């Protein structure tokens, strides 16, 4: 078990090791009926975290351990018993915080290799399950129909969702580097000064140069894709 191997490590190291595992598993299994299982896993993880804290401080009373390692670390949640590191304010993700997304069945014998079904598969990619990302990123992907406004290519290239928890976490890491948020002015019939926040390929952003697309006075500059 990971927590057993991390005996003697500080809370920050424990969280750095556990969070990628939780992200990958919750992303992979969120397309099935998993709400009750996620809650049970959260309870199990809480017990493991408390046991780790007790082993790390065998001579400290329960109230001392509770004050040091548990609190309302996630300000958007009302849970006052979240395990965390008070120095860095880091805390573990919970399985139950992941939104359940139902799996979409493929129509008939539709094949991703059929050129006539390109629009169908593009629509599946746009509506299909994404790595856990912030709400703004989801809205931008949907508004842009999953395509980069510079090259017109798909922001997500996977014909199939990753097939293991490890692949989900790896895909999330790739997207974090491959996609950026940028204020972009595009000739779409409106004013040339009309700038809107878009998602685009990081490579496209580098090729065209930020100077040609952004207004330094109004744009905060390139912002990395914010993934949960």
DSSP string, 160-186: S--SSHHHHHHHHHHHHHHEEEEEEE-
- Rounded to whole angstroms, the Cα distance separating 57 from 119 reads 58
Q: What are phi and psi of 47, to 5 degrees?
A: -65, -40
Please report the pLDDT score of residue 216 as a whole number: 39
pLDDT (tens digit per residue) in 183-205: 776 655 545 455 788 888 888 88
Residues 6 and 64 in one domain: yes
Q: Whose CA is closest to 171, among 153, 157, 150?
A: 157
Helix (H, G, I), strand (E, B) or coil at 106: coil
Point out the least confidently predicted range of 9-13, 88-92, 105-109, 125-129: 125-129
Residues 79 and 120 in one domain: no
Please report the pLDDT score of residue 59 as a whole number: 94
pLDDT (tens digit per residue) in 30-52: 777 678 888 999 999 999 999 99
Q: Is residue 145 part of a domain?
A: yes
Point out the least confidently predicted range of 56-60, 87-91, 133-137: 133-137
Residues 129 and 92 in one domain: no
Q: Structure pTM?
A: 0.54
Q: How far is CA 164 from CA 36, 104, 168, in A?
A: 20, 17, 6
Point out the least confidently predicted range of 32-36, 58-62, 113-117: 113-117
Residues 92 and 133 in one domain: no
Domain that holds residue 90: 2-97
Q: Is residue 220 part of a domain?
A: yes
Q: Whose CA is closest to 9, among 49, 41, 43?
A: 49
Residues 81 and 160 in one domain: no
Q: Is the pLDDT of residue 171 over 60?
A: yes
Q: Is residue 211 part of a domain?
A: yes
Query: Mean pLDDT over all residues of the chain?
Result: 75
Q: How far is CA 136 from CA 75, 140, 198, 213, 227, in A?
A: 18, 6, 10, 21, 10
Please report the pLDDT score of residue 63 as a whole number: 93
User: Which position has the higher pLDDT, 227 or 83?
Assistant: 83
Residues contacting 27, CB < 8 A, separation 6+ = 98, 129, 131, 132, 162, 165, 168, 169, 172
Helix, strand, coil shares, percent, the chain, to 5: 45, 10, 45
- Rounded to whole angstroms, the Cα distance separating 24 from 41 reads 14
Residues contacting 126, CB < 8 A, separation 6+ = 141, 142, 145, 146
Please report the pLDDT score of residue 30 as a whole number: 79
Name the strand (E) or helix (H) holding 195: strand 195-201
Residues 69 and 129 in one domain: no
Q: Is residue 106 part of a domain?
A: no
Q: Is residue 47 part of a domain?
A: yes
Q: Is the pLDDT of residue 217 over 50?
A: no
* Overall domain count for the chain: 2
């Amino acid at each position: 078990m990971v927590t057993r191997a991390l005996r003697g490590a500080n809370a920050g190291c424990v969280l750095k090791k556990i969070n990628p595992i939780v992200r990958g598993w919750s992303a992979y299994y969120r397309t099935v009926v998993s709400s009750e299982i996620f809650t049970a896993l959260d309870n199990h993880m809480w017990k493991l975290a408390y046991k780790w804290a007790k082993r790390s401080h065998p001579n400290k009373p329960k109230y001392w351990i509770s004050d040091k390692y548990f609190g309302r670390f996630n300000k958007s949640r009302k849970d006052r018993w979240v395990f965390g590191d008070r120095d860095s304010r880091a805390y573990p993700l919970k399985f139950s915080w992941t939104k359940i997304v139902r799996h979409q069945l493929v129509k008939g014998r539709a094949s991703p290799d059929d050129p006539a079904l390109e629009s169908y598969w593009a629509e599946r990619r746009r509506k299909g399950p994404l790595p856990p990302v912030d709400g703004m990123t989801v809205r931008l992907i949907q508004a842009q129909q999953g395509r980069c406004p510079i090259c017109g290519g798909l922001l997500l290239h996977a014909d199939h969702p990753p097939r293991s928890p490890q692949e989900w976490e790896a895909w999330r890491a790739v997207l974090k580097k491959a996609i950026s948020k940028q204020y972009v002015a595009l000739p779409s019939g409106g004013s040339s000064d009309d700038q809107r926040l878009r998602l685009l390929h990081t490579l496209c952003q580098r090729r065209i140069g930020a100077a040609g697309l952004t207004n330094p006075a109004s744009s905060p500059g390139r912002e990395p894709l914010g993934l949960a």
